[in-house]
Amino acid sequence: MNVPPEIRSWLGESLFDAVPVNIAVIDPDFRVVTANPSFTQLFGEWEGRRCFEVYKDRAHKCLVCPADEAFSRGELQVREEVGRNRDGEPAQYLVQVIPIRRADGSIPFCVEMSTDITGIRRLEQEMLEAERLAAVGQTIAGLAHGIKNIITGLEGGLYVLKTGLKKGRADRLESGWEMLERNVARISALSKGLLSFSKGQEAHVEPADPALLAEEVAALYRDAAALEGIAIAVEVPAPVPVANLDLAQVHDALTNLVSNAVDACRMSERGAGRVTLRVIEEDGALVFQVEDDGVGMDAEVKRKLFTTFFTTKGKSGTGIGMLQVRKIAHAHGGRVTATSEPGRGSCFRLVLPRDRLPRPLRPPDAAGSPDGGEAREDSHGEAPRQDDPGR
């Protein structure tokens, strides 16, 4: 494409000075050789100083240093850092380090570009908070519905018992009494389920093999399902790297999804069915996909899917499972999606973006020591996230 000369000249002469991004060029000794006005305004005097002195007011190089990586690997490095903005307030920066390569392959300089993403991170945080509030609202609404159903059962028991007494019908006395007993038991089960759902579980995050986890969950159901003609397969089309997961929680989420899928096959008129648990890596996210060819869901069921106490399993379901799955997904910085077609089956996906996965409480040595300093600090009390490993 033919770029008009005035654009070409602006890109060559003014871009560096005009962009609202802090840009510095450093040499292999980490000394700043040049910087744009935005950088100078933010970090002050830089001439003759090294980047860690300018950025962090440090006397020595940071332990985890994206510039070091860019010089040694010759590849773009992306990282989030915590620093200060022009007003001295804490700010989050997206730092990109781009190596400048000579024809002979050597890298004499790297360009460090940092963009203030505090506003974006704040918005994300607000969005998470809004989702959490919505979930609380749904939980309360669901609780009301759950209790309503039990009240109907109790009212029914009383009615049948009372009219049995009045009419002298022993059959009604017996069934009315049973209805009362059953619904008192339901209140007990519901309150236990609610307690375990609301209990803040301590996260035990550790590096785990996702494929192995999937196989473990499938193995739990495989034999029993096979007796009903339902096959459970695990597919891992390409190797999936280890991920930081709360094993017990993700196990719980997958157990819920696989158990639902088996139930969906069971309810299908076709009888036999197939459940496939796939583990895939997709756009930087670890994805567990549970697909079945069971009854599927119509619009009404889909709409109520993540509503507390919504169940299609009558008394055998408490309606807490899918909400639990969503809660676990959120705790891992991820989400659950569902697609379904009535009569053909459903597909549930637990999507866990790797850069949002929680960090293990004791990070492996390779992840840097606590005074590495450059890693993004968690400022909002949420589960700390993994830093962008760079590209």
Residues that bind other proteins (CB under 8 A): 145, 148-149, 151-153, 155-157, 159-160, 163, 172, 175, 179, 182-183, 267, 295, 298-301, 304, 307, 310-315, 342
As measured in angstroms, the least distance from the Cβ of 176 to other proteins is 8
192-198 contacts at long range (C-beta below 8 A, 24 or more positions apart): 193/318, 193/320, 194/143, 194/320, 197/308, 197/320, 197/323, 197/324, 197/327
As measured in angstroms, the least distance from the Cβ of 218 to other proteins is 24
Nearer to other proteins by Cβ, of 156 and 390: the residue is 156
Nearer to other proteins by Cβ, of 133 and 144: the residue is 144
Nearer to other proteins by Cβ, of 46 and 310: the residue is 310
Helix locations, 34-117, DSSP H:
37-43, 51-56, 66-73
Nearer to other proteins by Cβ, of 244 and 311: the residue is 311
As measured in angstroms, the least distance from the Cβ of 327 to other proteins is 21
As measured in angstroms, the least distance from the Cβ of 344 to other proteins is 12
Residue 132 to residue 323: CA distance in whole angstroms: 12
99-102 contacts at long range (C-beta below 8 A, 24 or more positions apart): 99/70, 99/71, 99/74, 99/75, 100/25, 101/74
Residue 225 to residue 223: CA distance in whole angstroms: 5
Nearer to other proteins by Cβ, of 184 and 226: the residue is 184
As measured in angstroms, the least distance from the Cβ of 312 to other proteins is 6
What single DSSP character describes residue 283? T
What number of other Cβ atoms are within 10 A of residue 319's Cβ?
A: 20
As measured in angstroms, the least distance from the Cβ of 220 to other proteins is 23
Q: What angle do CA 193, 275, 238 make, to 5 degrees?
A: 110
Nearer to other proteins by Cβ, of 193 and 296: the residue is 296
Nearer to other proteins by Cβ, of 11 and 144: the residue is 144
Q: With H, G, I as helix, E, B as strand and everything else as coil, classify residue 244.
A: strand
Residue the block writes with tokens 């802090």: 22
As measured in angstroms, the least distance from the Cβ of 186 to other proteins is 9
Structure tokens given for 309: 């106490």
As measured in angstroms, the least distance from the Cβ of 298 to other proteins is 5
Residue 72 to residue 86: CA distance in whole angstroms: 32
What are the φ/ψ torsions at residue 15 (nearest 5 degrees)?
-55, -50
Residue the block writes with tokens 């157990």: 255
Nearer to other proteins by Cβ, of 105 and 314: the residue is 314
Rounded-to-10 torsion of CA 127, 128, 129, 132: 120
Nearer to other proteins by Cβ, of 150 and 250: the residue is 150
As measured in angstroms, the least distance from the Cβ of 62 to other proteins is 55
Q: With H, G, I as helix, E, B as strand and everything else as coil, classify residue 326.
A: helix
